[in-house]
Structure 1
Amino acid sequence: MKLTRRAVMLAAASLSACGQAQPAGWTGGWVGADAARGHRLRSLSKSGNLPAPAVQRKAHVLVLGAGIAGLAAARALAQRGIDDVHLLELEDVAGGNSRGHVLAGMACPLGAHYLPLPGPHAHEVGELLHELGLLRMEAGRVVPDEMHLCHSPQERLFIDGAWVDGLLPPAEPGSGTLAQYRRFAALVAQAQRELGFAMPTERAGWTAGHAALDAQTFAQWLDGQGLRDTRLRWYLDYCCRDDYGAGSAVVSAWAGLHYFASRHGFHAPGDEDAERDPVFTWPEGNAWLARRLAAPLAGRLHTGRTVLRVSEGRHAVQVWAHDEAQGHIEAWTAHQVVLALPLFIAARVLNAPPAALMQSAQQQPHAPWLVANLHLAEPLLDRLGGAPPSWDNVCYAADPRSLGYVDAMHQSTRPHPGPTVLSAYWALPQAERGALLSGDWRLWAERVVADLATAHPDLPGKLRHADLMRYGHAMSIPVPGLRGSPALAALREPIGRLHFAHADLAGYSVFEEAFSSGTAVGRRIAAAQRLG
């Protein structure tokens, strides 16, 4: 179905309205992160001079960063009887990229918004989900709690003027596009069979075949396989931007194949096994999980702390942090320190960073992201036909930064549609980081609205408020050479009293990698204490 003339005119009018200096009929602003705290770290670390501490504190284990990796490390330590554990977190809420928000009384995500059913290698995540009641055993089989699985319909794509089911662009029987889909599916299956892929990725091993993939971009590998179909390439580029924050011309071929081969493969339309992967999701996204990990840490989770310096001594580690609420410096002494921080931040705060950390930080770029939560006073009209409104909604060949939107109220059981919050995701090129961090929220909100108005001409008139979250360094981009880096591998082992736990160690950012990394570090520290 093609766009009608009326719909095109309405969309054009909406786009014109978005170009106004002041949004008409809606308000908004930046939420979620305080860029001034990161700037404080940068300025003080450059000066080398820190004010005298106002408070002295001690901990057996001090975890720096209360994202998923830091929360997982604290949980693993507590499970093994080590409770003198404290966490310092930059922001006012724990969770890192898995934080949530409330807009107009409706929960919505500020970052990661779903968790796939864990595969056979993600043991730690599976244990957590069983503990939370999301998975259970029935007649010897693992069964998910369907209340927390994404409700149907799950995904749809706006293409050729209409919505279609799923995110893979349609392919006519006998077409060259379908042939290319099937060839790529066969190559993914071959990679699974011959090389092996897993999540967490460390459990797949590393061979010469993996290294060869890691040495080239995904786009180069696709070209070499003769996979040039426009629709296939758009879809694969979208998948890379969605998981890695950068397209197929930037990420490695290992990363491009890992996206599919570590899960349930790639399936062409019409394939017997072409089932949609079930995912857990909540209105607030993965904040649902982060809050449950943080809940047992009352009194030991210290938010609003900007870590400024970490210095390892012979008998202990000294950590200086700025208490943002009190405006003074805290000095902590700990026997062991877990740096659950992005590696480039860890390199900045460590007084004497090891060579492996410096090398890893230099070769690991991070993608800037924008998450826009849009409060709509009434439901959108589905006038363009095709697949019904879904949880995940993506426009084909839209703004190359746009990843579509999820409907925060899709999981609601209300009997009729009503006001909702749409969470729109943008993965930006690194060159736009400065513009994102310094730009007016109105400009970015108008860009998001204009992008969505192509498929939803009535959206601008129903928008009441826009809360925008910006990430300067949202996630590690698995560029060629990163995953196989010896320096990155070296950081998975302790260095004196310092332990690194972060998804950055896998070269890309997903819940499974962060949680497994933090759990492994917590268990290792606990085991060493028992032996000692």
Structure 2
Amino acid sequence: MMRRRTLLTAAAAAPLWAGCERTDAPAFDGGWVGANAVRGHAWRDGAERITPSTTKRTAVAIVGAGIAGLAAARALRRAGIDDLRVFELEDQAGGNARGHEIAGIACPLGAHYLPLPGREAREVSEWLHELGLARSEHGGTVWDERHLCHAPQERLLLREGGAGRWIDGLLPLADPGASTLAALRRFAGAVREVQRLGFSQPTLRSRWTPTHAALDAVSFAAWLDANGHADPALRWYLDYCCRDDYGAGSARVSAWAGLHYFASRHGFHAPGEGRDEPLDPVLTWPEGNAWLARRLAAGLDDRLATGAVVERIAPSRHEVALDVLDARGGRTRWIAQHAIVCVPLFVAARLVENAPPVLAQAARAMHYAPWLVSNLHVREPLAQRAGAPAAWDNVLHESPALGYVDARHQLLDPRPGATVLTHYWALGGNSVQEAAGQRRALLDRPWRDWAQAVLDDLAFAHPDLAAKTARIDLMRYGHAMAIPVPGLRGHAALAALAREGEGAQRRLHFAHADLSAQSVFEEAFTRGTLAGEAAARALA
């Protein structure tokens, strides 16, 4: 569900840590926020398991309070089932859609926008109407403009010598030549061709044909090479899109995923094809998708337990036992009639006792992208380079990172002032080794090293940033999102997990965006809703 760009490969990361300690580093506060790596790794490494002395009961236990888990709880409550418990490892619900605040300014810790849902995302659309973000009028949908991204929406900084210039949009085309325009139009035609195959969000409502499977079998980079899409400007942008949506480069992402980015929504439009403006609208808030997560969690009260480490899920023919450690002390065995497992598949495979073989198969097929999300509290407005004005989404061409969004952009206060810039860094690389190296660097390197790397990345765009930054809070995700590597979307084990089980497994329901091979809000919300509805039917 995170939309950002580019990554720092393991080799490119090395210079950030080379040499002696910096003596000219500006004085700013900050630190790691948002995730308890010690708690998660203690569970991963098999901390001592103690049989709980207390037993409690509930009708449905939900493991994981990301978007899928919260959507499952909503579906159960809509079906009249309030006897439920949601267990979340971290201290805040929301998963990749958690939020933060610095100096009274709300900002995201992950996903920061939601595209307007298409017709297949009917559960999402219904909920957005329920929230008042949309209303039906004269056979169409009218959106509350206060929650749509304000213009200007995005811009790109080109490095033109030492000066640099911001341009509108994210295609690196200040003055495109005839050959580049022709390349863009040829790719736009290719996208129109594949759209006829059928692509939708959520993907569980997409068609799956042998042609889809063939696209899923090769990398996007290999497909582009094979089809002659070699223009450097086009390839930079397409690589940006892969890293932006999937956390890894086009060499790791399947051709199905690379094309799905465009084909499931509004296609790809080259300059001069009549779709230069306006941009496709998106919903966004200063705190990002935490605005949505908090509304999903509203009303759960003590049915939502944060800081709750589920150590074991043991299904039987008549019930499911869950051993839960309260991070503040004490263990409880919860007995549920049904359990909905809303955690990444590699976690689920460790938790479920006597798990169905397809769970282990699916977990082995998964690859995950690490991410770094940094929030910079800036005391006063920054100097701007020439060109397009400050936008919501600000990307630096050829940067090793992904640019930033401005928390003040959605505010209706026209007065310039202090703000928070949320900087994104996708670290999935173009190989398993690169991702592993970056994951290790996130865990081992001090937060101040990464904060300095963020300042260095943005220095060309804003030379005065370091002097005006008061605080940098950083959120590290070791396994932020599933990478749709070749062969994953069509993997039989993912489809099998989404179906209701038999015997003891019929009391387990799996719901996570991993089942769709990509981390997107619509996928998680729909999977969670369907699992909650299935558990409600089973209870009835």
TM range (shorter): over 0.9
How far 1:472 moved relative to its partner?
A: 0.4
User: Which of residues 285, 301, 309 in structure 2 aligns to 1:298?
Assistant: 301
Residue 163 and residue 302 in structure 1: after superposition, are their counterparts in 2 closer, same or farther (change >3 A)?
Answer: same
- 1:469 equivalent in alignment to 2:469: no
Give the Cα–Cα distance (whole angstroms) in 2 for the partners of residues 267 and 309 of structure 1: 49
Q: Deviations over 1:277-322 (max 9, x none)?
A: 1000000000000000001211100110011111112211100111
Letter in 2 for 1:479: V
Structure 2 CA distance for aligned equivalents of residues 442 and 199 of structure 1: 39
| Distance in 2 separating the partners of 1:437 and 1:58 | 37
Task: Provide the residue aligned with 1:483 in structure 2.
Answer: 489
Q: Relative to structure 1, is the Cα distance of residues 268 and 304 closer, same or farther in structure 2, using a 3 angstrom cutoff? A: same
Matched to 2:415, the amino acid is: H
Correspondence 1:45-444 to 2 at 5 A: 50-159=49-158, 160=160, 161-170=164-173, 172=175, 175-193=178-196, 195-274=197-276, 275-325=278-328, 327-382=329-384, 384-399=385-400, 402-429=401-428, 430-431=435-436, 432-444=438-450
List per-residue Cα deviations over 1:372-403 (Å, max 9, x = no partner). 00000001111x2100000000001111xx11
**How far has the Cα of 1:171 moved from its partner?**
5.9
CA distance in 2, matches of 1:354, 1:444: 40
What are the Cα deviations for residues 26-46 of structure 1, in whole angstroms up to 9, with x where unaligned? 1110000001111121122xx
Moved over 3 A (4+): 171-174
Aligned AA (1:231): A
Once the two structures are TM-superposed, the CA of residue 357 in structure 1 deviates from its matched residue by: 0.8
| Residue of structure 1 in register with 2:8 after alignment | none
TM-score where L is the length of structure 2? 0.92
Q: How far did 1:72 drift?
A: 0.3
Alpha carbon RMSD of aligned pairs, Å? 1.7
| CA apart distance, 1:55 | 2.7
Q: Distance in 1 between matches of 2:115 and 2:26?
A: 39
Distance 1:486 1:21, change over 3 A: farther
| 1:416-471 superposed Cα distances (whole Å, 9 cap, x missing partner) | 11000000000113121011012100110111110011111111111110000000
TM (norm. structure 1) is 0.93
In the alignment, the residues of structure 2 paired with residue 441 and residue 253 of structure 1 have an alpha-carbon distance, to the nearest angstrom, of 35
Residue 528 (structure 1) shift: 2.8
Moved more, 307-316 or 126-135: 307-316
Deviations 1:315-371 (A, max 9, x none): 11100111001x221110000000000000000111112111101111110000000
Match of 2:9 in 1: none
Provide the C-alpha distance between the structure 2 equivalents of 1:498 and 1:21, rounded to a whole number of angstroms.
55
**Which residue does the alignment assign to 2:536?**
526
| Cα shift at 1:138 | 1.7
Quickly say closer, same or farther: Cα 1:504–1:22, change in 2 above 3 A: farther
Does structure 2 conserve the Cα–Cα contact (< 8 Å) formed by 1:158 and 1:164? yes
Count of aligned residue pairs for this structure pair: 508
Task: Say if 1:157 and 1:163, in contact at 8 Å, map to a contact too.
Answer: yes
- Cα distance 1:78–1:51, how it changes in 2: closer, same or farther (>3 A)? same
2:511 corresponds in structure 1 to: 501
Residue by residue over 1:202-231, the C-alpha shift from the partner in whole angstroms, topping out at 9 and shown as x without a partner, is: 111100000000000000000011111111
For residue 394 of structure 2, give the secondary structure of its aligned residue in structure 1. Answer: strand
1:375–1:465 CA contact under 8 A, matched in 2: yes
How far apart, in 2, do the equivalents of 1:368 and 1:22 lie?
A: 29
In structure 2, C-alpha distance between the alignment counterparts of 1:75 and 1:482, rounded to whole Å: 29
The 3 A distance-change label for structure 1 pair 173 and 234 is closer
Amino acid at match of 1:175: A
Amino acid at match of 2:245: D
Match for 1:375: what amino acid?
H
CA–CA distance in structure 2, aligned partners of residues 111 and 509 of structure 1: 12
Give the Cα–Cα distance (whole angstroms) in 2 for the partners of residues 449 and 156 of structure 1: 19
- CA–CA separation in structure 2 for the residues paired with 1:67 and 1:457: 37
Q: Does 1:448 align with 2:449?
A: no
Contact 1:60 1:335 in 2 (8 A): yes
What SS does the aligned partner of 1:25 have? Answer: coil
On the 8 A contact 1:171/1:269 being kept in 2, the answer is no
CA offsets 1:89-132 (integer angstroms, 9 cap, x no match): 01111100000000111000000000000011100110110000
- Between the aligned partners of 2:478 and 2:77, the Cα distance in structure 1 is 32
DSSP 3-state at the match of 1:243: helix
Structure 2 counterpart SS, 1:361: helix
1:247-281 Cα distance to aligned partner (Å, 9 max, x none):
10100000000000001101111211334110000
1:108–1:408 CA contact under 8 A, matched in 2: yes
Determine the C-alpha separation between the residues in 1 that align with 2:147 and 2:201. 22
Could you tell me whether the CA contact under 8 Å between 2:317 and 2:507 is conserved in 1? no
Q: Is the 8 A contact 1:248 1:256 kept in 2?
A: yes
Contact kept? 1:171, 1:178, Cα under 8 Å: no
C-alpha distance in 1 between matches for 2:98 and 2:404: 17
SS of corresponding position for 2:100: strand
Aligned with 2:25 (options 23, 26, 30)? 23
Deviation at 1:52, TM superposition (A): 2.6
**Percent identity (aligned):** 59
Query: Following TM superposition, by how much is the alpha carbon of 1:173 offset from its aligned partner in structure 2, in angstroms?
Result: 5.7
Equivalent residues of 2:167, 2:174 under 8 A apart = no
Q: Given that residues 22 and 442 in structure 1 are in contact (C-alpha distance below 8 angstroms), is that contact kept between their aligned partners in structure 2? A: no
